[in-house]
Structure 1
Amino acid sequence: MEELVAAEVISVNQIGEGTRVCIDVIDQLDPLEGMLIGNTGHGYLLVLSENRSTETYPPRPFRINGGAFHHYLYLGEERTTYLAEAKPGLEVPLWCKGKVRKVSVGRVKMEKRPFLRVVCRVENDDQEISATVQEADSVHVMTVDQAAKPVLELKAGDRILCYPDEPGRHLGKKIEEEIKEY
């Protein structure tokens, strides 16, 4: 199982409107269960299920808001897919309190929404990891204290969980190559 590590938030900035992708799975999700998503192969942030009430949104116990259309979705075993390519039937790994389970996607929902770009630095490393998440009170990430943190409240200095990786994929499978992603 991949070990999640701490990352310090460097910046959170509005980035504009685009297509967001929600992954609806065929089982009920724990409020602290989530999947790993990111802008680049350098690593992924743990974004949590929408199984909680917010001021503007009822709980969706089957949904994880995966963020921007271009994101990588980490599938485990050094494999990724693009959120844009996720389809019903795809098995996705879900992380919760140090455990992982796989659940199949039942539906993929895409809509235009505003986004935030979250940039983090892996603790004890210079590696940066970023994700483009929907600017909404229903979107949460996992803190190092195993608590849900709304992305609308994220700020520089916050510590959240991530999975560092090395870029270089061909059709979702890890390959050795020199690559630069930002």
Structure 2
Amino acid sequence: MKQVLVDLRPWNKELAIAALESGADGVIADSAGPVRELGRILVIAPDGDLVPEQDIHEITIENTEDQERAMEAARTCRIIVHTPDWTIIPLENLVACGDNVIAVISSLKEAEQALTVLEKGVAGVLVRTDDPDLVRSVSRLVQSGTPGQKLSQLTITLVKPVGMGERVCVDTCSLMTDGEGMLVGNTSSGFFLVHAETLENPYVAPRPFRVNAGGVHAYLQVPGGKTAYLADLKAGDRVMIVHGDGSGREATVGRVKIERRPLFLVEAESEGQKVSVILQNAETIRLVRPDNTAVSVTSLKPGDIVLGRIETGGRHFGMAVDETIIEK
């Protein structure tokens, strides 16, 4: 996820509070002391968690020599770049060098441009302003701007009971809406969009913070293009919430519930590729149709269409790798 830093030089208590309340990743200050009195956040300061010009370098680009110096630095360390006339070209050149560039911005428009330059965007922004509302706006922009997922239509080929086993409920610190859920699959090459428990039903009250995600063995997509085993999740971990339209956002895990329940095997295919997932055999467990409505796994039948994601390659410690891996 992109980082949001806030410049507190000179000290500005209102900006510091806005940074803390909006979920900014860190601040730059002349001293860590005043920040620590307000809350816990990464502080870049001579007495902070990171030290300026030691752990992170600030560079102002005013000419081609400055740009070349910044490009060289960006290859080996994290840099904060300020372009006084705010031209896009230096940022394009720097982003092309790697993922170490944080751009100084002073408006929401500048943040939008920096975060999308070369379609990839900078690694983060440093908000330099006297306006606490801008800090909040930029934080919202970054938190809602998680890259979208390219979802595929999956044609159901098989649904059958497979006995008892442990399944995982992922309870997040965020409320989900209809059409949202998490991408879960038996293998790293195919995922189903499992719907959150947002809907009314005769058996249990809605739990819009929860996704009953599937068997303990399954892969779940998490931020940064990675995956995690459902069994490994714990409070404080970050997961991806995905909508049927492909948009995504991050959420924090508040609790994980693993319980023994009857299970269903769901198999599907998309463009010749087979995918599968094991879910709890219950009416309240749902997948997502192409129109973003939910369909219960107990009513699925061959030929039904649901949403998911197809990937290639395998995974090693959750990271995509280009090697020969057979999963079935």
Same fold (TM over 0.5): yes
1:143 aligned residue (276, 289, 296): 289
Superposed, 1:80-95 pairs within 5 Å as 80-95=227-242
One-letter code aligned to 1:159: I
- 1:148 counterpart letter in structure 2: A
Q: Is 1:120 the equivalent of 2:268?
A: yes
CA contact (8 A) 1:34 1:64 kept: yes
Q: 2:215 aligns with which of 68, 74, 89?
A: 68
Aligned mate of 2:163, from 7, 13, 16 = 16
Amino acid in structure 1 at the alignment position of 2:153: A
Residue aligned with 1:131, SS: strand
Preserved contact between residue 236 and residue 252 of structure 2 (Cα < 8 Å) = yes
Q: CA deviation at 1:55?
A: 2.4
**Whole-angstrom distance in 2 between the partners of 1:85 and 1:116:** 21
In structure 2, distance between residues paired with 1:106 and 1:76: 16
Aligned residues: 180
Q: Name segments (4+ residues, structure 1) moved above 3 Å.
A: none
Alpha-carbon separation, structure 1, partners of 2:173 and 2:225 = 24
Shift of residue 88 of structure 1? Answer: 1.0
Contact 1:117-1:131 within 8 A present in 2 as well: yes
Comparing 21-30 with 167-176, greater Cα deviation is found at 167-176
- Give the aligned residue type for 1:115: L
User: Residue 50 of structure 1: SS of its match in structure 2?
Assistant: coil
CA distance, structure 2, for counterparts of residue 55 and residue 137 of structure 1: 10
Residues 1:129 and 2:268 are matched in the alignment = no
How many angstroms apart in 2 are the aligned matches of 1:58 and 1:167?
Answer: 40
Q: Point out the structure with the larger strand share.
A: 1
Cα distance, 1:31 vs. partner? 2.5
Cα contact 1:2–1:76 (8 A) shared by 2: no
CA distance in 2, matches of 1:77, 1:105: 16
Q: Residues 178 and 293 of structure 2 are in contact (CA less than 8 Å); yes or no, is this contact kept in structure 1?
A: no
Secondary structure, in 3 states, of the residue corresponding to 1:60?
coil
For 1:46 and 1:8, locate their aligned partners in 2 and report how far apart those are by CA, in whole Å: 13
Matches within 5 A, 1:1-182: 1-96=148-243, 97-122=245-270, 125-182=271-328
Question: Tell me, which stretches of 5 or more residues in structure 2 are unaligned?
Answer: 1-147
Matched residue type, 2:250 = K
Deviation per residue, 1:24-75 (Å, 9 max, x gap):
0002111321000000012100001111122222211111001100000012
Q: CA deviation at 1:170?
A: 1.0
Q: State the alpha-carbon separation in 2 of the partners of residues 98 and 81 from structure 1.
A: 20
TM-score normalized with structure 1 length: 0.95
In 2, distance between residues paired with 1:65 and 1:167?
26
Comparing both structures, which one devotes a greater share of its residues to helix? 2
TM-score of the superposition, structure 2-length normalised? 0.54
Identical pairs, percent:
37
* Conserved 8 A contact 1:118-1:130: yes
Residues 197 and 211, structure 2, Cα contact 8 Å, conserved in 1:
yes
The answer to whether the 8 Å contact 2:175/2:209 transfers is yes
Give the conservation status (yes or no) of the 8 Å contact 1:80–1:172: yes
Query: Aligned Cα RMSD in Å?
Result: 1.1
Q: Distance in 2 between matches of 1:104 and 1:78?
A: 16
Once residues 155 and 62 of structure 1 are traced to their aligned partners in structure 2, the CA distance between those partners, rounded to angstroms, is: 28
Q: Which amino acid aligns with 2:263?
A: F
